Amino acid sequence: MSYKVIRNFSDLNDRSAKEPNGHFYTVGEKYPREGYIPTKQRIQSLTTTKNTCGEVFIEEIKVTKPRVKKSRVGDVDGRTDE
């Protein structure tokens, strides 16, 4: 599942030598970044106010499939076999 960042934050659970204070996400970015797999608990804390800041930081990206127009059998060129 993918999420969109709705409030800037540093992910303190995603630290590295390059980012010792955690990976910084800005509004509009996709969460999680490539190469990082957060726990279910981390996702829950960022999608609700049940975290130390009391703020929602990410929301789920809802993917909708495009609707496909169905054609009748034999309706390839606009004609039907009747």
3-state class of 42 per DSSP?
Answer: helix
pLDDT on residue 73:
67
3-state class of 9 per DSSP?
Answer: strand
3-state class of 67 per DSSP?
Answer: coil
Considering the entire predicted model, what is its pTM? 0.73
Residue identified by tokens 């800005």 is: 26
Instruction: Give pLDDT < 70 ranges for the chain.
Output: 71-82
Contacts from 61-69 at CB under 8 Å and sequence distance 24+? 61/1, 61/2, 61/3, 61/4, 61/30
pLDDT on residue 66:
81
- C-alpha span between 29 and 26 (Å, rounded): 6
Model pLDDT for residues 13-30, shown as the tens digit of each residue? 999 999 999 999 999 999
